[in-house]
Structure 1
């Protein structure tokens, strides 16, 4: 009988570049490819260990100078919206929600461009054209959905917000969301998160993954406003008790060497055992 050895994923590190969240810091990422029959299993496993997906790549911050970027998720069963969040939910409750296969449209791209030009004109995605946008939406080897929110009853679909969402074995991962900047007063970004909590609750999924929370970063501060928030810290998920008093570790020696980080990553059994 012929036996084969499953190929374990290979991990790499990006070159340092200026951090988009904390001034004066340099960013570096640990990443691996996401492809093949084991892609869903790998995404499920590494998402629980602080990784995020971007197209067919899984990555996690691995900066040499600090550990400020912390993966964050909402524990659905314990989540209770604040008074402000309940008001946001009521204000946007009229919007129609539609979950589609990951397919990019011109309407999505037009909204995406308006969003970037208004809020992130100097960001890393500022020059993304429609083909790159389509790749971001469509190049996914796992279970993904494009969740659209639109005004009901309009002749042409009036998109208010869009979220690219991955379906994990233990929750929903909000890969990227954007919304109509002219409706800033509607707090659509908050509403999309609240609605994903409801989607997860209805599906019996325990978590909604929000990406990275970065203490001290105005861009990422909104995530700490959500109740029942957990952060991945010290190789374990921990309840975030008081965001205002939380002190991120920005010491030069706060991160272990890359080889040690990779050695501690847990892979699915099918990627580590001999058949």
Structure 2
């Protein structure tokens, strides 16, 4: 696993979106834990402690997976490519990238935003200011998954807080305008994350990339279990607990073996 230079992350205009997202999630977490939750349940009760712990786990997983998604470098490693050239002759699936001036491996694509070739490139995520590829797709998936779960629970809790406990009144223990903005933000994040999970399914299920799933090309499908390991690694059953649990990927991301699989009726469009 390689890590990106911080200059390649924060010296981009799109990094502003990342900052806004982090600040928004942090504010929402504070309001929900310190204003909404104490009115929903008695402080110290089993339900209160459970939601308090759940909220912390969701928040920490969102932030840690987002951070790892940004830090893990999915670009083509030229040193590894040189080693591949020494060990074996590249197959016909390799292609020339005129911008990087390299012979790029199968399934890799050049990103015009990052300015480099990405190994098994899926898409460029503007909210994390980085490309999503072979090495960091695990973190992107969990970032989206935990964002969906957190926004769903937050939307329900906020709806009960506002419409049930306060009868839809604007007289609530937090600024009226701020709460409305937060409520709308939850709806937007819930919708976007739900759509992202939907579009991620054919990618994870059939071991594809965005480009392949969009054209319904699942020629690298190795079976569901093997496909999941390609994304989440050898310890995939434990990766959901924390972004910091190491899980070695069983493939080098370079020498792919095609199958005859071409299945699924999915046509996806990336929104992040």
Please tell me the TM-score bracket, short chain as reference: under 0.3
TM-score by structure 2 length?
Answer: 0.20
Q: Which has the higher contact order (CA 8 A, sep 6+)?
A: 1
Instruction: Determine which structure has more spread, i.e. the larger CA radius of gyration.
Output: 2
Give the strand-richer structure, 1 or 2: 1
